[in-house]
Amino acid sequence: MHYHDICRFLYTEASLLDARRYDEWLDLLDDHIRYRMPLRATRDFKDPCDIVDDMTFFDETKQSLRTRVERFRTTSAWAENPHTRTRHLVTNILVTEENGPDEATVQSYVLILRSIRDNPDVEQLFGERTDVIRRVDGTLKLMERTVRPDQTVLSMLNLSIFV
Amino acid sequence: MKYGKLDRSLLEDVRAKVLRGMLPQWAFTDPEVFKAELEQIFAKTWNFLGHESEITRPGDYVTRWIAHDPVLLLRDAEGKVQAYLNSCTHRGTKLCTADFGNKKAFTCPYHGWTFNLSGELTGIVAGNKVYGEEMDRSQWSLRKIPRVESYQGMIFGSLNEHVEPLETFLGDMKWYFDLMLGRSDHGMEVRGIPQRWIIHTNWKISADNFGGDPYHTAMTHRSTVELGISPKDPMYASYGYQIVLDNGHGINIITRRKDMNVPPFQGLPSTMWSMFERNLDPMQLDVFRNTMITVGNCFPNLSFVSPMHGTGGPGEPLTSFVNFRVWRPLTPTSIEVTSWLMVDQDAPEAFKEASYLSYVGSFGPAGTLEQDDAEIWTRVAEASQGWMTQDKDVHYNNVLNYLMGLDRVEPDPSWPGPGVAYPTCYLDAISRAFYQRWIECLLDDAT
């Protein structure tokens, strides 16, 4: 799997999310995707693990992600009506593991900037993601995503977005 | 005095309005109200700190807040729960910065003063050489949160040493806490750690929403009706009882109806039912059997919800969860939410997992229900900061509407539980009682 293809996959994904082209975004996800966002904690120096996996902000299947998308299309999902405006800035893409010719584990940084209505303040969410990307029938699919946010207290009022 | 300071006569006016179902909009956003709340409410009453399952072993600790007071909550060497002001007694540094962990002692990074789990000052760098033997170390222990008490594993602290006992403060809320927290042999456990996030709203807006406002579900959460996840009937969340309790507390119990095909005991596995019979009295058991949703608020800012939801999409089986959250007041228009998911320790693993997925899907900042709540609470705060809404000349056109059911809906004396129970949840009775308690707290010390 070429690094270039992985980058194009992740940038395409970011662009679809920011354009709210959710059907095309869902098409990038494998039907058995595991999509999770565990909690970050501030830990003591001697406790190196600062991710708490038992509690998450997202723990999703393709079906539950589709339900979230369908909710945005109703007339009354007020968090996105009017819709918020986001930029998913995806950088520092590293292939951390190659699992054969058709699968890679990929780390990326993400910074999401969000604008809500006429509020000039910028909402931000940032962290790192570990993805498993696989080539299925010639096209790349996201098999797994784990988002590790950097904030222990999110400054976004809600996560009516995908990360 | 149109835009002037809070004084007794103004607050008396507000009380009269609240009793008649009206609340001045500036109550949400006025900086002096906020200051008075910190002093008259949060510094005087009981505040929820955490659950005993978060600190099970000696040395286990979590760091929490009571409004702006940092709290170090831990289990000491004897297994007793202790809570200290999380600030070194030497120069005031925040002593423990981790969210949770296990320690035998806490050392301040500024000059190295060290405190044990009992809060005693056990180590001073270069101790006697610099302070001599005459400094009495016992005078420099960590400052204890003046009162710490628990009920059903729920640990509360108060900054007021003269506060009434916790169980007196909770009063009839205890009966309803038992349904959520005391039904199983080994009580509840917190899953993972609580979620935390910031919302730009006032703490009363969210407390009032959970406490007394099932009416909002039909519109705020209409997206889930459109999706076929929630029932179409706009009266759906009204079926049940709104129960006004003492001290500003309140709970709504939305009951299952025969035509709804909802399982008893909120869908908890039938293997657990014999425990419920053991741990609840017959009246509690009867109420819990027919409970579908509980949602309410323990004054001032501990809200809870225990609904039944699916775990992903339409057609998913219903499951239930227990969620408690604190709306920590940061400023007049911002709160930090700390939200704990709790589950019966005795529940089968499969239920615990389903309960967790149901919570994460529907509540928390990404929850399909909670996303819209936060957005709307933000809009309330946003629209409550201008000149017109800050006008303290209290007249009808400048107040918000809490009239639902006033002089119209009578209590149902046949309700088996304690409190004043009204036979519908579309009612502002709990909100009126919440704001009545709120204004009485502010009046308590007003001049």
B385 CB near a chain A CB, below 8 Å? Answer: no
Q: pLDDT per residue over B353-397, tens digit each?
A: 999 999 999 999 999 999 999 999 999 999 999 988 988 876 666
B330 vs A: CB within 8 A: no
B393 and B265 share one domain:
yes
Q: What confidence score (pLDDT) does residue B192 get? A: 98
B250 with B322, same domain: the answer is yes
Provide the shortest C-alpha distance from residue A35 to chain B (in Å): 12
**B184 secondary structure, DSSP code:** S
pLDDT computed for residue B2 by the predictor: 46
Nearest chain A Cα distance for residue B230, angstroms: 12
Closest to A160 measured CA to CA, from A75, A81, A53: A81
Q: Provide the pLDDT for residue B257.
A: 81
Nearest to A39 among B195, B199, B361 (CB): B195
Domain end marker among B134, B162, B190: B162
Is residue B26 in some structural domain?
no
> What is the pTM for the complete model shown?
0.96
The residue segments making up the domain with residue B134 are 47-162
CATH number at residue B340: 3.90.380.10
Distance CA B298, CA A124 (A): 32
A10: in domain: yes
Provide the percentage of residues in chain A whose pLDDT is more than 70. 100
Q: Is B59 exposed, middle or buried (0-12, 13-18, 19+ CB in 10 A)?
A: middle
Out of B101, B223, B360, the one facing A76 most closely (by C-beta) is B223
pLDDT one digit per residue (tens) for chain B, 447 residues: 444 578 899 999 999 999 999 999 999 999 999 999 999 999 999 999 999 999 999 999 999 999 999 999 999 999 999 999 999 999 999 999 999 999 999 999 999 999 999 999 999 988 888 998 889 999 999 999 999 999 999 999 999 999 999 999 999 999 999 999 999 999 999 999 999 999 999 999 999 999 999 999 999 999 988 988 888 888 989 999 999 999 999 999 999 887 778 899 999 999 999 999 999 999 999 999 999 999 999 999 999 999 988 765 566 678 899 999 999 999 999 999 999 999 999 999 999 999 999 999 999 999 999 999 999 999 999 999 998 898 887 666 689 999 999 999 999 999 999 999 999 999 999 999 999 999 999 999 766
Residue-wise pLDDT for B300-333, tens only, equals: 999 999 998 876 556 667 889 999 999 999 999 9
CATH number of the domain enclosing A14: 3.10.450.50
ipTM of the complex: 0.97
B211 assigned to some structural domain? yes
Which of A36, A78, A83, A84 is the best residue to mutate to test the B interface, defined by the most B CB atoms within 10 Å of its own CB?
A: A78
In a domain, B155, yes or no: yes
User: Computed over its alpha carbons, how large is the radius of gyration of chain A?
Assistant: 16
* pLDDT (0 to 100) of residue B133: 85
Q: Do A71 and B227 touch (CB under 8 A)?
A: yes
CA distance B27 to chain A (A): 22
Q: Is there a single domain that holds both residue B82 and residue B178?
A: no
Q: How many structural domains compose chain A? A: 1
Q: How far is CA B421 from CA B237, B249, B414, B429, in A?
A: 16, 13, 9, 10
A79 chain-B contacts, CB cut-off 8 A? 371-372, 374-375
Q: What confidence tens digit (pLDDT) does each residue in B48-93 have?
A: 999 999 999 999 999 999 999 999 999 999 999 999 999 999 999 9
- The closest alpha carbon to B164, from B176, B146, B143, belongs to B146
Number of domains in chain B: 2
| Nearest CA distance, A140 vs chain B (angstrom) | 25
Position B193 in a domain: yes
- CB contact (8 A) between residue A76 and residue B101: no
Shortest CA gap B99–chain A (Å): 5
Same domain, B87 and B210: no
Count of pairs with CB atoms under 8 A, one residue in A, one in B: 126
By Cβ distance, the residue of A37, A42, A76 closest to B99 is A42
Q: Are strands B195-199 and B334-344 parallel, antiparallel or unpaired?
A: antiparallel
